[in-house]
Each structure stands twice: as structure tokens, then as C-alpha cells.
Structure 1
Amino acid sequence: MEIKALRTFIAVAETGSFTRAGQRLSVSQSAVSQQIRILEKDVGTPLFTRRARNVTPTQAGNVLLPYARQITAKADEAAAVISDFEGMGRGRVAIGAGGAICHHVLPSILSEFSARFSKIEIQVLSGFTMETLDRTLDGTVDVGLLVLPITTGGLTATELGRDELVAIAPRGHRWESLERVRARDFTAEQVVVYNRSSRTFRTLERFLLEDGVFPKFGMEISDLEAVKKMVEVGLGVSVVAAWAARREVDDGAIISRPLAPRGLYRTWGLVRRSGETATASHRAFINICKSRFASLLSSER
């Protein structure tokens, strides 16, 4: 069965007339009749009962009609996907994210994206949260990957997954004997912090202050890799995302422990300008983020 014949069949069934079906499809009545004859030959039975003023589907025609609609709808969907795919050959995706996401998460996502859509130009701009929000809002980047929630107007967020913050310390530290690190365990510790303007710092500060703990924030470093190195050589302890410390923990360079009593978690999301229609290349990137981001954040890898 040909798609063209099925479309003609649907038009005749819905209009009750070969003439009106031809008008809908912008073809002649004879062309409609020809397509119906082709389809009836394919199925081996009449599909319409012809009357003086109209035509109605036969029993076989009524059986075929819902299938014809499904088949043509799928054909339209496939054509749209192919059209988008071809359009992506000229696309570009500009992504804004923090340095840690660029270092630990984006490489896997962009590797898959590039393998599937090799002609798409990829641009990545790293920066702190406010920089990424501003860049997304002014159109410098198409999407931003951030910790939620956001309060900036004009942006829409899509939740991607949660991660867990863990306490890290050098090997041989007293925390090695603990199953979980409590807020009061930070008392008298030198805490190396990652950027006081970050969501991670504010989350840690709230966790400690709610328990009446006023820690010593000895170092503030805007490079997560440097934070971990300071901890590794014994210059303090810190709190980082479990996924960001996974390699050093696996290598035995540092130890990590979840935070008491129930862990400390953040929600990550993808932000875009509100009301802006996503291009095919943007949708492809967003879909890969939705399918991969949460697993890359998981501490159970």
C-alpha cells in the first residue's frame, strides 16, 4: 500500500466525496479515483460503496481507516524527524556550565552527541552560576547546566537529576572510622571551600550553621581540582560532589563519607530562554542530557 493512496482513501472517507477529496488534496477527481482503484487492488476488496450523491466506506473500508490514519501519521512523523536531522547539519549548540561539570560530566555527553551528530558545531563556555545565567539570558549560550532552583526571570528550567555532596579528607584522617560525617565533626577542622558565591558553599554553610557549627574556612579556591589536591596533601577537609571526587577516592588519594543524618543533595537542571523554540540540534542535545546526566551524577558507579 502506498502512502499517497492511503492519504487519498482518508480524504474520501472523511469528505464522503471523490470531488471534495480532490479539492482537499488539490488533485483532480480522476486522480482520486485512480488512487482508490490502486488501493482496492492492493487490499483485494472494495473500500467504498458508491451512491448517487456520496460514497461511504464498506466494512473493509471502516476496518482500514484507523490503520490508514496511524500509518500516515507515522509517515509524517518520520518525515519531520528526517527534516530535523538534515537541518542539524548546519546547526550549532552553545553550552554554559561550571568548570566541574565541564571536567567530569560534559565530556561523556558531548562525546555521544558528537558521534551521533558529527556536523553540529559545539561551543562550551565555563563559568560560575551567575555568568552562566547571564549568558543564557542574553543568548551567548543556548543552554546552561546549573544547580536548581533558579530565580532569574526569563528562563525555563528542566530537571536532569540529583547528586550527593560528600565530606572529603586526606588518608589517615580521623573521619576514616566514621560511617557518616556530622556537622559537629567539622569543629576545629580547616575547611577548604570552593568559591563562596557557589551553591555548594551556601549549601555547606547552611548544613553547618543549622547545627550551630562555625567552621574555619581556611582557603577559598575557585578550582575544584585544586580543592581536592589541597585536601589530599593534608591542608584541610572539604565537601564536594561525590562524582567529582570519585577518581581520587578510587585511587586511594583521599577518603569520602556521606553527611549525617540523611545525606546532602542538590538538584541539577538545564535552563533555556523562556518562550524560545528549540532548534533540532538543541533538542538533540537536550534529549541526550535527559538520558545521560542523572547516571553521570550518580555516586553508585
Structure 2
Amino acid sequence: MDAVKCQAFLKAAEQGSFTAAADSLSYSQSGITRMISSLEEELGFPLFIRQKKGVTLTEDGRLMLPLLRELVQAHQHAEELGAAIRGLVRGSLTLGCYFSVSSMWMPEILQQFAQDFPQVKVTMLEGGNKEIAKWLTEKSVDLCFCAKPGRGVDCDWIELYQDPLVAWLPSQHPKAAAASFAIKDLERESFIHTLPGQDTDQDRLIEQEGLKLQTRFSTKDGFTTYNMVEAGLGVSFNQRMIARKWSGRVAQVPLAPQRFVSLGLALPRSADPSPAAKRFIACVEEMVEELAGGTAL
């Protein structure tokens, strides 16, 4: 089965359009259409429902999706391994990345990786815990730089750093200068919740501690929450790292008892990392201590 045809299928499934898939892969639309039609003829059943506004997978197409994805990945890994044997590192790397990691660490890591391995193309997907769990389960990424996936996510885990959770308090809050902030005291405050219901680190701690919060506002990102805390609209909590470069009038007070977010690299279970993925893992492990301020594991 031709890996190029399978790649065209995957891109069309991802984009929901033959035209968009053609643009992404630098083919003509007619070329993509011919490849997918040929693949359907080879398999003996249709993979897509064609509509005026795009395409959607048939039930058979959905069943074939993970298998054809594995075929394309195996083809790419074979090419990359051949290049590595010849003394080159080339290919592509699809990286899932946790929001806070992508903003704080990834620019420096990608800069170094691109300098060391300029022939590796990196595609980065940003998301929260739910999206990352989905990507790992589907094996649509080579690896994820993220918080430790929850139970039920089948993956291999390399822990790199323990990031403490801290309360975010307005600078005028009575406990802004305190050495710690009791987790249970969050129940007495007007709370600002970031991305509720998305299996965030906030969601996980709230569930673990059985907190009954007085949620006044909810937001879609940490920076908005941070600015709302600064304005005195309530309190919140998050990883210490996420606000390291922000300079608002917000006190970051360690929670008591201490709680941490485990950050590291997650790989789809039983997936043999490609040469490019192995080089990226080594690059991260080498740089993470410096990026974390000397507190990496």
C-alpha cells in the first residue's frame, strides 16, 4: 500500500477537505482526488463521503484511520532511520505540547533543536490535558511535552520536572505576603476558574481535594485569569512556571500542603521513537535543568 496515498488520506481526514489537503501537501486538488480514489479502489470501499462543503470519513474510513496512520509513521521512521545510518538526522516530528510548556520552554528548545538538526521539520500542536490524551491514544503525535497524563491514558512517561502549584492573590489581599496559603481557604474566596471541565491541573486538584469553590468567573486562558486576579476580581491558583515572565501585581503564594504538577515527555505506548524523536528527547533532557532554574529531576 502506497504511503503517499495514505498520507493524502490522513491529511484530507484532518482538514475535512481535498482542497485544503492539496494545499498542505503541495499537490493539485485533482492529484489528491486521484490518490484517494486509487486508495479506495485498492481497499474496495469508500473512505470519504463527498459533499459540497468538504469531506467526512465513512464508518469504514474511521476504522482504517489508525491503521493507515501507523503505516505512514512506519514509512517515515524507515526513511529517518536510513538517513541516520548514513550519518544524517532528517524527517519530521509531530509534537503535542501543554499550553504552559509551549509558552515558557518551547521557544528555547526549538531554537536549539533547529540549530542542531535543521533537516527535521517540527509540527507543534498546543492543547490541554484532554487534547493531549486524545493525541496519545490516537498515536497522531510522536511525543508530547506535557503534564503527566491521567489514569486511563496508555503511554510511556519520562518525568523531567515538578512544578509547584501556587495561589494567585491580588497584591492587596491580606495573605499576599504569607509564607503559604491553605488549599481549603480557597473555598472562602471568590474564585476565578481557568478552562473548567477540561481536566486541567486546576480541575484535578479541585477534584482531589473535594473543594467546594465559590466560582465567580471562568476564563479560557491563564493570562486572562492572572489579569482578573490583579484587578481584584477574585483569587485563583496555577503552576508557578506559567507566570514566571508576567509582571502584574499578583502575589504567588505556595499552597499548603504543597502540591506539584509533574511535567515531562509522554510517548504513545509501545511506539518505537523515530531517530528525530530520540534526538528531541535528548535535547529536552539536556536543556530542561537550565530552563527550570536548576530544579529538574
TM-score of the alignment, normalized to the shorter chain, above 0.5: yes
User: What letter corresponds to residue 284 of structure 1 in structure 2?
Assistant: R
Report the Cα distance in structure 2 between the residues aligned to 1:295 and 1:206, rounded to whole angstroms.
33
Report the Cα distance in structure 1 between the residues aligned to 2:160 and 2:86, rounded to whole angstroms.
24
Structure 1, 219-228 or 198-207: larger mean CA deviation:
198-207
1:242 alignment counterpart: 240
Report the Cα distance in structure 2 between the residues aligned to 1:240 and 1:170, rounded to whole angstroms.
14
Structure 2 CA distance for partners of 1:297 and 1:165, relative to 1, 3 Å: farther
Structure 2 CA distance for partners of 1:150 and 1:84, relative to 1, 3 Å: farther
1:42 alignment counterpart: none
Superposed, 1:192-271 pairs within 5 Å as 192-196=192-196, 197-206=198-207, 208-209=209-210, 214-248=212-246, 251-261=247-257, 263-271=258-266
Structure 2 CA distance for partners of 1:84 and 1:239, relative to 1, 3 Å: farther
Is the partner of 1:217 in helix, strand or coil? strand
Structure 2 CA distance for partners of 1:185 and 1:273, relative to 1, 3 Å: closer
Structure 2 CA distance for partners of 1:295 and 1:85, relative to 1, 3 Å: farther
CA deviation map 1:216-271 (0-9, x unaligned): 122222211111111122211111111111223xx35211111113x211212211
Report the Cα distance in structure 1 between the residues aligned to 2:260 and 2:163, rounded to whole angstroms.
6
Report the Cα distance in structure 1 between the residues aligned to 2:140 and 2:114, rounded to whole angstroms.
21
**Contact persistence 1:193–1:217 (CA under 8 A):** yes
2:109 is equivalent to residue 114 of structure 1: no
1:158 alignment counterpart: 158
Structure 2 CA distance for partners of 1:231 and 1:292, relative to 1, 3 Å: same
1:288 alignment counterpart: 283
2:105 alignment counterpart: 105
Structure 2 CA distance for partners of 1:275 and 1:288, relative to 1, 3 Å: same
Structure 2 CA distance for partners of 1:294 and 1:222, relative to 1, 3 Å: farther
2:179 is equivalent to residue 183 of structure 1: no
Structure 2 CA distance for partners of 1:300 and 1:153, relative to 1, 3 Å: closer
Report the Cα distance in structure 2 between the residues aligned to 1:237 and 1:294, rounded to whole angstroms.
30
Report the Cα distance in structure 2 between the residues aligned to 1:168 and 1:194, rounded to whole angstroms.
12
Is the partner of 2:110 in helix, strand or coil? helix
Offset of 1:143 from its aligned partner?
Answer: 0.6
Report the Cα distance in structure 1 between the residues aligned to 2:279 and 2:184, rounded to whole angstroms.
46
Offset of 1:184 from its aligned partner?
Answer: 3.9
Q: Which has the higher helix share?
A: 1
User: What letter corresponds to residue 145 of structure 2 in structure 1?
Assistant: L
Report the Cα distance in structure 1 between the residues aligned to 2:217 and 2:248, rounded to whole angstroms.
23
Offset of 1:297 from its aligned partner?
Answer: 4.2
**Cα RMSD (Å):** 2.7
CA deviation map 1:149-189 (0-9, x unaligned): 54345422222221111011122221223111012432431
| Structure whose alpha-carbon radius of gyration is higher | 1
For this pair of structures, how many residues does the alignment match? 215
Report the Cα distance in structure 1 between the residues aligned to 2:199 and 2:192, rounded to whole angstroms.
13
Report the Cα distance in structure 2 between the residues aligned to 1:92 and 1:219, rounded to whole angstroms.
41
Is the partner of 2:245 in helix, strand or coil? helix
Structure 2 CA distance for partners of 1:84 and 1:153, relative to 1, 3 Å: farther
Is the partner of 1:174 in helix, strand or coil? coil
User: What letter corresponds to residue 193 of structure 2 in structure 1?
Assistant: V
User: What letter corresponds to residue 281 of structure 1 in structure 2?
Assistant: A
Structure 2 CA distance for partners of 1:85 and 1:147, relative to 1, 3 Å: farther
Report the Cα distance in structure 2 between the residues aligned to 1:256 and 1:299, rounded to whole angstroms.
20
**Contact persistence 1:200–1:240 (CA under 8 A):** yes
CA deviation map 1:21-80 (0-9, x unaligned): xxxxxxxxxxxxxxxxxxxxxxxxxxxxxxxxxxxxxxxxxxxxxxxxxxxxxxxxxxx9
Report the Cα distance in structure 1 between the residues aligned to 2:236 and 2:124, rounded to whole angstroms.
28
